[in-house]
Amino acid sequence: MNKSILYLTVIVLMTITACSNKHNQLSPVEQGEGWELLFDGQSLDNWKVYNAEGTGSWLVEDGLLAASGTGSDSDGYIITKKQYNNFDLKFEWKIAEGGNSGVLYHVIESERYSTPYLTGPEYQLVDDVGFPSELEEWQKTGADYAMYVPDKDKKKLNPVGEWNSSRIVFDNGHVEHWLNGEKILEFEAWTDEWFELKNSGKWKTTPDYGLSSVGHISLQDHGSRIWFRNMKIKELPKKQSEPHELFNGEDLSGWIEYGNELWYVEDGLLVCESGPEKQYGYLATERFYKDFDLTVDFKQVSDGNSGIFFRSLFEGTRVAGWQVEVAPKGYDSGGIYESYGRGWLCQIPDEQENILKEGEWNTMRVKVVDSEVTTWLNGQEMTHLDDPLIGKANGRIALQIHDGGGIKVLWKNLVVRPL
């Protein structure tokens, strides 16, 4: 080979290699700022299939994170092995003609959910122009899928086959969507407006959608090819939250009833009472609370077999979670019971049973941080438990009426401070 041609060939190859090496890397500045790569251009070590092992229809292709296009609405999802709370996520992507995909966050991995979108909000990615059927605005690129739509005047989407850059910011409930350097959408999660949208549209029959403040990032293979590169994330600090009342003293706003037992407000107090069916009943918060410090005053008028559930999920009156016992004297008030199947995790020594004041107002405090749970009754520590299964869970706070009938308990001063 002519030396000049050989020299030019080497230069071209070096240039191509240098260009490709620009991608899927962090600069020293980014490393110092706390950014981490979700994809290094070589492996899928940070990813797994939702509710399964392996990487399914996803592969590394020419230094890109690629979907093979064989997924569907019900499968084809990968999730990060790590979970994230507050974050700044940046990524570049291009999609095939007529394609449809998305990036989801705060996804809960559980056999209770068949797909990530039942819990995780989605930054929609789609071929706005060439999609084979007409799209609603909430289905187009950059939308918070089925919730909030982007600003048309700021949205500049590159044609199919060209690269776009996107960014999702979740900062203590403040959400931003960016596209090609422009902020096209922002909103506040879990406001009255947010719940109104959730409960009136596509998600009205999806009770746990969007409620978690922590979870996995997920990518969707929706039956078309899509490619990602330069996917990086920086965790943002969690702001200290102020305590707030869960019960307003007037009505059951902010709560969801499960079952047909009686929950009502009387003289500024929250009342739970057995109904004619004498079955289990629950009153659960609309929101999820993972880490929190909760105080509740209760008075057992009759029987008093009740409880305070935490990190709990509901299907009708079937509950999966943990209960801080509220019961008559001698039945472990302040202990912890698991409804998943292990039963009692921590019961109360006999000498602590007299801490409960029968027929009077009592104060229960419950603090849950990561895998640790501590309970206090009338200022006395009753339980301290460290349990890995609790650490992995997320869900609602709820009050219980036990089955059997004859139960009436009064509640007031339900104050929670998210941690």
User: In percent, how much of the chain has pLDDT > 90?
Assistant: 91
Q: What is the pLDDT of residues 331-344, one digit of tens each?
A: 999 999 999 889 99
pLDDT higher than threshold 50 for residue 204: yes
Per-residue pLDDT at 9 exceeds 50: no
pLDDT for residue 341: 84
What is the rounded distance in angstroms from the CA atom of residue 417 to the CA atom of residue 405?
33
Residue 215, both tokens: 């979870």
d(CA 107, CA 83): 8
DSSP code at position 239: P
Which pLDDT band, with edges at 50, 70 and 90, does 12 fall under? Answer: very low
Which tokens sit at 81?
């092995």
Domains of the chain: 28-235 (2.60.120.560), 244-418 (2.60.120.560)
Q: What integer is the mean pLDDT of 38-49?
A: 97
Give ∠ CA 319-323-329 in degrees, rounded to 5: 130
Reported as a pLDDT band with limits 50, 70 and 90, residue 210 is: very high
For position 156, what pLDDT does the model report? Answer: 97
Mean pLDDT of the chain: 94
pLDDT tier at 21 (50, 70, 90 boundaries)?
Answer: low
Query: Does 239 score more than 80 pLDDT?
Result: yes
**Cα distance between residue 373 and residue 361, in whole Å:** 23
For position 16, what pLDDT does the model report? 44
Tell me the pLDDT tens digit for each residue of 148-164.
999 999 999 999 999 99
Q: How confident is the model at residue 2 (pLDDT cuts 50, 70, 90)?
A: low
